[in-house]
Chains A and B, each alone.
Chain A
Amino acid sequence: MFKKILLATSGAPSTFGAARVAFDMAKRYGAEVVVFHVMGVPTKAYSQVVNDVRTGEEIEVDDEYRAWVEEELKSTFEKQIESVQYAKIVTTTGVPSREILRAARSEDADLIVMGASSGDSSAYRKGYPGSTLQRVAKAARCPVMTVHRETASYWGGFGNIVFATDFSKQADSAFRFALNSARELDCDLTLFHALDISGKVLDQNAIEDRLIAARARIRAAYVPLMGDFKNFDIEVWEGVPYVEIVKIARERSADLIVLAHHSLELDPEKARIGSTMEQVILRAGCPVVSVSKPDKV
């Protein structure tokens, strides 16, 4: 299912969780890992000077620096690289989100795995924690898996997948990915919808009516597509969507949350408030896969 995994990493500890998951998956499924690193953001017009992604320092990218960075990455992930059959290190310079997308396209990656945030060390001034992820998740043709918290990095294979839907077109792609994963890896699938009642005061009967309607909608939209796959159940909870998604994942001891990303808003300041996807990623206790395009599912 995953022949090629692009691990986008700054090499910083905040991405170690993502690395563990990427390598573990590659080991289990015989995939190739491309360890992809963007060395720096070109800030100085057309000169060779860039800002190092991790330190923010000005550096001149030449063969020597490139070799040093590759050596650093190699020693950081030494044991993991040895544990898989195919792995390679690719480095480049540029705006991280753009270069991750470029690499995913040129490598024809089946999955991008990355951390959710570079924390305070983000050197790209227009950025903010999560901006790279937002941009990648929006435009990538393949699913994007993020591993944010250390607790989420444990990978013991799939047992339970939570698919959270908002009934968008993109959610259809996410559903296909969740179903294929569940089928292929033989695990349980929870089809979930969080009814958004945040900031509203609603009559309880109205809430319950909506819950019933949403359940019916899930059944109508997805169940006919499942064929002989029976290991699923349907849940609809009301509340603040990201909280409910994280809660059901915890309750089901999910190993994976799958959801769609389709926010049109890429303005850093507005997106900063946080989409459901971003909030789920930041809070979930397991890896989160965001799917927005149908190509690789």
Chain B
Amino acid sequence: MPEGIFCNKTPINTEEQLKATLGDKGGKQYYEEMNHLDVDTDKLWSTIQKTMKSRTKTWLDICAHCGLCAESCFLYQVNGRVPEQVPSYKIQSTLGVMVKKKGKVDNAFMQMCMETAWSKCTCCNRCGMYCPHGIDVGVMFSYLRGLLYSQGFVPWELKIGSGMHRVYRAQMDVTTEDWVETCEWMAEENEEDWPGLEIPVDKVGADIMYTCNAREPKHYPEDIAEAAILFHVAGENWTVPSEGWEQTSLSMFAGDWECCKDNVLNVYSALERLKPKRAIGTECGHAHRATVIEGPYWAGRPDGQPPVPYIHYVEWLAEALRSGKLKIDPSKRIKELVTLQDSCNYVRNQGLKDVTREILSYIVEPGYFVEMSPNKEHNYCCGGGGGFNGIGLYRAQRNVALRKKMEQILDTGAKLVIAPCHNCWDAIRDLEEEYKIGIRWSFLKPLIIKMLDVPEHLRPTEE
């Protein structure tokens, strides 16, 4: 069959298409249509020829199938160590075969690839650290996802997610009006407790432009308020853009390369319009990866950098605590065992392992911080990365994937897990729901606010 109504090779570009696809309960019709979707083998092969760079070719060629990557993969570990979960096998049996066959593959093969790409790899890039040749299967799976997306073989939620970015330029249906309104609302809701609190929109030439994750205005606007409170107490000159505020990229998870570029250019154009000295993103891993690590390349920036220095929230927070812009009341420090989730996307992918620990040194009473094992760049994915968290079709596999993180957390003995990443936060919450191990989880912002030593002049006047 040519293309289906919902499952096809065309991205979602209109609100109408988006709502119609959303209306397909659980993607039932979508996946049924996928069973009949033709593979455009000529286009697939020509895309591979045009886009597959020498690095990927070399990686596929030099992989010795030695299997040394096996143990590095948490999905291999939690799935009974079956050969089908060895990273090298996963990529050779999908992308490797696709290339060998010069794109002459069928529907069943593409569906197998889809299942492998989205339920057997979270693109956490851990295997790349353990391969004797430095082959990063996560990077190759991101590439494979792009090929699958272009042929219409992508999980329903991610087709929608990418469509959301195309239609609303946000991963959820948050419009510019909704966003600006939310900023006003949050300033208003908190101005009594924090006199003088503002969330300035579109201020030109501020020191900081702040960007966030659309889940915040949509469901958790207090996160925006908390960022505002901390900037306020730190005395920062900051702003948020009315357009280009959404830093995440579900299109990156979906493999919608065109949309990835559009998203990041939208954020960069806000930087060019508002000319801040630097930009700071919220506590989110993939948003950082999309805007700061990979984004410059999607946008074709010759220096591989965003238009202004762009840092992750933990970097700003560490700086503010270090420089004394934010002061912690020592009596309010955490005095219970607490552990830290290292987000793959800004720890393994950008090396921000020490700043988070520096933050903990200010907010946790000595002796109460307990590391997960392994940790830092060796840490495992939360279990729900790369889009895994959101895909209904692979819920059961995702729940199995959470077990590694569960074991790691249980081994620490901590009941409080700090997770400065939206996706990790979600996965750990889901993990508690699924396995009920009695833990709590938190972003850094609310914890810090509770511990702040607020200067007298910033406190509300009590009567």
Residue among A44, A102, A167 with max Cβ neighbours from chain B (10 Å): A44
Interface size band for B: 20 to 34
Q: Which parts of A16-51 form the interface with B (CB within 8 Å)?
A: 42-49
Minimum distance in angstroms from B45 CB to a CB of chain A: 33
> Which of chain B's residues have a CB closer than 8 A to the CB of A169?
463
Contact between B384 and A45 (Cβ–Cβ < 8 Å)? yes
Nearest A residue (CB) for B450: A267
Q: Which parts of B417-434 form the interface with A (CB within 8 Å)?
A: 423, 426, 429-430, 432-433
A3 at the interface (CB under 8 A from B): no
Minimum distance in angstroms from A261 CB to a CB of chain B: 12
A63 at the interface (CB under 8 A from B): yes
Tell which of A47, A64, A105, A139 touches B157, judged by Cβ atoms closer than 8 Å. Answer: A47
> Which of chain A's residues have a CB closer than 8 A to the CB of B429?
43, 125
> Which of chain A's residues have a CB closer than 8 A to the CB of B450?
267
B355 at the interface (CB under 8 A from A): no
Q: How far is the CA of A51 from the CA of B166 in the complex (A)?
A: 27
B22 at the interface (CB under 8 A from A): yes
Contact between A46 and B25 (Cβ–Cβ < 8 Å)? no
Nearest B residue (CB) for A47: B390
Interface of B is mostly: helix
A62 at the interface (CB under 8 A from B): yes
B366 at the interface (CB under 8 A from A): no
Which one, B146-154, B215-223, B239-247, B357-365, is touching chain A? B215-223
> Which of chain A's residues have a CB closer than 8 A to the CB of B435?
none
Q: Which parts of B215-272 form the interface with A (CB within 8 Å)?
A: 215, 218-222, 250
Contact between B222 and A45 (Cβ–Cβ < 8 Å)? no
Contact between B22 and A62 (Cβ–Cβ < 8 Å)? yes
Contact between A46 and B215 (Cβ–Cβ < 8 Å)? yes
Contact between B390 and A60 (Cβ–Cβ < 8 Å)? no
Query: Knowing A43-B430, A43-B433, A264-B193 touch, does A105 contact B185 (C-beta < 8 A)?
Result: yes
Minimum distance in angstroms from B370 CB to a CB of chain A: 21
Contact between A98 and B215 (Cβ–Cβ < 8 Å)? no
> Which of chain B's residues have a CB closer than 8 A to the CB of A42?
219
Query: Knowing A47-B157, A47-B392 touch, does A98 contact B222 (C-beta < 8 A)?
Result: yes
Nearest A residue (CB) for B161: A46
Interface of A is mostly: loop
B106 at the interface (CB under 8 A from A): no
Tell which of B23, B185, B221, B426 touches A45, judged by Cβ atoms closer than 8 Å. Answer: B426
> Which of chain A's residues have a CB closer than 8 A to the CB of B432?
125
Contact with B along A64-98 (1 / 0, CB 8 A): 10000000000000000000000000000011001
Residue among B171, B189, B395 with max Cβ neighbours from chain A (10 Å): B189
Query: Knowing A46-B250, A48-B392, A264-B193 touch, does A95 contact B26 (C-beta < 8 A)?
Result: no
Q: How far is the CA of A105 from the CA of B221 in the complex (A)?
A: 14
B391 at the interface (CB under 8 A from A): yes
Minimum distance in angstroms from A44 CB to a CB of chain B: 6
> Which of chain B's residues have a CB closer than 8 A to the CB of A48?
22, 26, 157, 392
Tell which of B218, B220, B222, B430 touches A44, judged by Cβ atoms closer than 8 Å. Answer: B430
Contact between B430 and A60 (Cβ–Cβ < 8 Å)? no
Q: Which parts of A179-201 form the interface with B (CB within 8 Å)?
A: none
> Which of chain A's residues have a CB closer than 8 A to the CB of B220?
95, 98
B341 at the interface (CB under 8 A from A): no
A121 at the interface (CB under 8 A from B): no
Nearest B residue (CB) for A46: B390
Contact between A98 and B189 (Cβ–Cβ < 8 Å)? no
Nearest B residue (CB) for A125: B433
Nearest A residue (CB) for B384: A45
Q: How far is the CA of A141 from the CA of B391 in the complex (A)?
A: 38
Minimum distance in angstroms from B309 CB to a CB of chain A: 29
Contact between A63 and B392 (Cβ–Cβ < 8 Å)? no
Q: Which parts of B150-176 form the interface with A (CB within 8 Å)?
A: 157, 161, 171-172
Query: Knowing A43-B429, A47-B390, A169-B463 touch, does A60 contact B215 (C-beta < 8 A)?
Result: no
Query: Knowing A46-B172, A48-B157 touch, does A63 contact B384 (C-beta < 8 A)?
Result: no
> Which of chain B's residues have a CB closer than 8 A to the CB of A101?
189
Q: How far is the CA of A49 from the CA of B218 in the complex (A)?
A: 15
Tell which of B172, B426, B463 touches A168, judged by Cβ atoms closer than 8 Å. Answer: B463
> Which of chain B's residues have a CB closer than 8 A to the CB of A94?
218-219
Nearest B residue (CB) for A97: B222
Contact between B463 and A49 (Cβ–Cβ < 8 Å)? no
Contact between A139 and B189 (Cβ–Cβ < 8 Å)? yes
Q: List 26 A-B contacts (CB under 8 A).
A: A43-B426, A43-B430, A43-B433, A44-B395, A45-B384, A46-B157, A46-B161, A48-B157, A48-B392, A49-B392, A49-B395, A60-B25, A60-B392, A62-B23, A94-B219, A95-B219, A95-B220, A98-B220, A105-B185, A125-B429, A125-B432, A125-B433, A167-B463, A168-B463, A169-B463, A293-B192
Known: A44-B426, A125-B432. 7 other contacts (CB 8 A): A42-B219, A44-B430, A45-B384, A47-B390, A62-B25, A125-B429, A125-B433
